[in-house]
Amino acid sequence: MLENLESNYDCANAGDDLHQLKQELESIRNHQTTDQTTQEAINRLENQISFILNKCDINH
Tell me the residue range of the domain where 39 lies. Answer: 34-60
Tell me the pLDDT tens digit for each residue of 37-53: 999 999 999 999 999 99
Say how many domains are in the chain.
1
Asked whether residue 59 is domain-assigned, the answer is yes
Reported confidence tier of residue 59, pLDDT bands at 50, 70, 90: confident
Global pTM value: 0.86
Distance CA 9, CA 12 (A): 9
The answer to whether 60 touches 53, Cβ cutoff 8 Å, is yes
Distance CA 19, CA 42 (A): 15
Asked whether residue 18 is domain-assigned, the answer is no
Asked whether residue 11 is domain-assigned, the answer is no
> Radius of gyration of the chain from Cα atoms?
12
Element (H, E) at 46: helix 36-55
Q: φ, ψ for residue 24 (rounded to 5)? A: -60, -45
